[in-house]
Amino acid sequence: MKKLFQQTASHLKKSTARETKVTLYPASCVMLEGSGLALARIGGRKVLVEAAKTEGDLSADFQGRVTTATGLAVKQCDLCHAHADALRRALTWTAPISLRDRQTTIGCGDRLGRATPGHIRAVRQFGVAPVLAQQSIRELNLTGRSYQNVVDDVTFLVFQEGYQDGFGADGDHLKTLADINVAVDAGMAMITLDLSETMLAAAENWDAARIEAAFAELPQAEQTRVLAAYADRSFDVEGATIAIPALEAKRCAVMYLKAMDFALEVYRLLQKRRGNAFDLEISIDETKAPTLPAHHLFIIKELLHRHITVSSLAPRFIGEFQKAVDYAGDLAEFERQFAVHCGIARNHGNYKVSIHSGSDKLSAYPVIGKYTRHRVHVKTAGTSWLEAVRTVADCAPSVYRDVHRKALAFFPEALKYYHVTPKLDNIPALDSVKDADLPALMDQADARQVLHVTYGGILRDPTIGPRFFAALDAGEDRYYEYLERHFVRHLTALGLPAAK
Ligand SMILES: [Zn+2]
């Protein structure tokens, strides 16, 4: 097998211009039935390469230009959707799967379709299962990608890295059946159902009269059931007592019952389309008020009442989980409430507690690791993008300077999509920063936040976008190193033991 790939590499070198660099990614080299398959970089371009003794031995599933030499036929194939599909059929470990039976999972949102090898190198050290493809509709709109692009990019990079331990793909923060269908079409095996719009969040602050009136509108049978199940009852969860006064039970019914019925619709859709090979996450984190333990308990009991299997659930925790910076809030109170949330999850099917905007919340990680006992899903979204920016600052300072200026100019627009509160005055004036100090701007909280949310403007800029990608691709190995270091830091802070 080794010999075939050595021959292939030298064949490719001979058939390309002398100054063009040719690399076969060593971890990608695998044998199919009568041929070998690998991922190669030829100059600035990645291709799938299939090689065999004769042209007749090459698979019909991959299409491309064939060149031959004595005893060798080599085909170069584009990284297109048809070939991603063919790869997933030939090597099933390049397709996303359900991770519901895996203990610890980490969401590695990758806005650029380039970060996967760095993620894999980090999770391998801890035996954690990665959700390598994870994007929200908001991110797709801002980057001009589709769910199909997202999954296909990951398929090729999982192949590049030869990672066969299984990974997830998360259609993140989806709110409609139409969007969920698109994500499932693309092969996403995890759906994060965002209930922030189907629930009636405003009822959180309604007075008793208004709650009573709204509750009286519900079907009589539902009223009776809810009152019997919750009103003036208290529930013991690992030593903590969660009391639900009658008014609070009615409030929960008004706030959540419609959303629970929608969750059932989504669950049935997923079962119809994927059997049991999916993960459903319920997310109520994008609301103004923190999720009270009583509400979390009500929600999971109602989901179980509808026979919905939940893989993970994301409450809104107290304090601020702002993008790209550490946890801000009362850590002692966070710990007290977090312990109860974890107890609820353990006692109701042992689903994972999901931490959104989980990157960089390092001061809260010991608490998160301790109370979940590592049965947890931690999502990170823009943090891999920031490591890409760091790489460009390191490898191509002049490109970074344009990126930085664009980020500041685009920031007011980005505030339409994201809630962050950096102090712009704290960001050093760009002209005063030496090239060698540019990467360290990614350690400065205010600069981090600005760059975190302005990716849409940067990537879609007709001059800056292509230069950014070219610089990042030239610094590919450096990018993987930065990512690995960054994710290892997170997984270590969770208290995870090293893989055996
Ligand atoms: Zn979220």
Q: pLDDT tens across 4-14, in order? A: 999 999 999 99
The reply to whether 30 falls in a domain is yes
Residue 491's alpha-carbon distances to 124, 134, 294, 350, 500, in angstroms, are 11, 18, 30, 21, 15
Number of domains composing the chain: 2
| Residue in the block written with tokens 């059929």 | 89
Determine the length of the chain.
Answer: 500
Q: Which two tokens stand for residue 211?
A: 């709650």
Q: Which of 31-45, 280-294, 319-333, 441-455 has the lowest average pLDDT?
A: 319-333
3-state secondary structure string, the chain?
CHHHHHHHHHHHHHCCCCCCCEEECHHHCEECCCCEEEEEEECCEEEEEEEECCHHHCCCCCCCEEEEECCEEEEEECCCHHHHHHHHHHCHHHCCCCCCCCCEEEEECCCCCCCHHHHHHHHCCCCCEEEEEEEEHHHHHHHCCCHHHHHHHHHHHHHHHCCCCCCEEEEEEECCHHHHHHHHHCCCCEEEEECCCCCCHHHHHCCHHHHHHHHHCCCHHHHHHHHHHHCCEEEEECCEEEEECHHHHHHHHHHHHHHHHHHHHHHHHHHHHHCCCCEEEEECCCCCCCCCHHHHHHHHHHHHHCCCCCCEEECCCCCECCCCCCCECCHHHHHHHHHHHHHHHHHCCCCEEEECCCCCCHHHHHHHHHHHCCCEEEEECCHHHHHHHHHHHHHCHHHHHHHHHHHHHHHHHHCCCCCCCCCHHHCCCHHHCCHHHCHHHHHCHHHHHHHHHCHHHHHCCCCHHHHHHHHHHHCHHHHHHHHHHHHHHHHHHCCCCCCC
Q: Is the pLDDT of residue 295 over 90?
A: yes
Determine the residue type at 312. Answer: S
Distance CA 334, CA 316 (A): 11
Q: From the CA of 354, how far away is ligand 1's center (Å)? A: 9
- How far the first Cα of the chain sits from its last, in Å, is 28
In a domain, residue 328? The reply is no
Look up 281 and say whether it is catalytic.
yes
Phi-psi region of 496 (alpha: psi -120 to 50; beta: other; left: phi over 0): beta
pLDDT tens-digit map of 213-235:
999 999 999 999 999 999 999 99
Q: Is 425 a catalytic residue?
A: no
* Structure-block tokens of residue 184: 């499932």
Q: What is the chain's alpha carbon radius of gyration, rounded to the nearest angstrom?
A: 25
Centroid of ligand 1 to alpha carbon of 404 (angstroms): 26
Residue 114 lies in a domain: no
- 116 CA from centroid of ligand 1 (Å): 21
Lowest mean pLDDT among 237-241, 266-270, 324-328, 469-473: 324-328
Residue 364 above 90 pLDDT?
yes
Name the residue with higher pLDDT: 66 or 325.
66
Asked if 385 and 459 touch (Cβ cutoff 8 Å), the reply is no
Which is catalytic among the residues 172, 179, 360, 484? 172
pTM given for the model: 0.96
CB 282, CB 314: distance < 8 Å: yes
Is the pLDDT at 458 greater than 70? The verdict is yes
Cβ partners under 8 Å of residue 245, min gap 6: 231, 232
Cα(285) to ligand 1 centroid in Å equals 5
> Pick from 47, 78, 109: which residue ends a domain?
78
Distance 71 CA to ligand 1 centre (A): 55
Segment 118-132, tens digit of pLDDT: 999 999 999 899 999
Does a structural domain hold residue 216?
Answer: no
Q: From CA 483, how far away is CA 492, in angstroms rounded?
A: 14
Residue 471 lies in a domain: yes
CA of 286 to the centre of ligand 1 (A): 6
Question: Per-residue confidence at 1, pLDDT binned at 50, 70, 90?
Answer: low
Of the three residues 38, 55, 78, the one that is the final residue of a domain is 78
- Classify residue 14: in a domain, yes or no: yes
Which residue range is the domain that position 485 belongs to? Answer: 384-489
In a domain, 50, yes or no: yes
Q: How far is the CA of 357 from the centre of ligand 1 (A)?
A: 6
Which residue among the candidates 110, 153, 194, 281 is catalytic per the annotation? Answer: 281
Of 62, 78, 94, the one marking the end of a domain is: 78
Residue 444 lies in a domain: yes
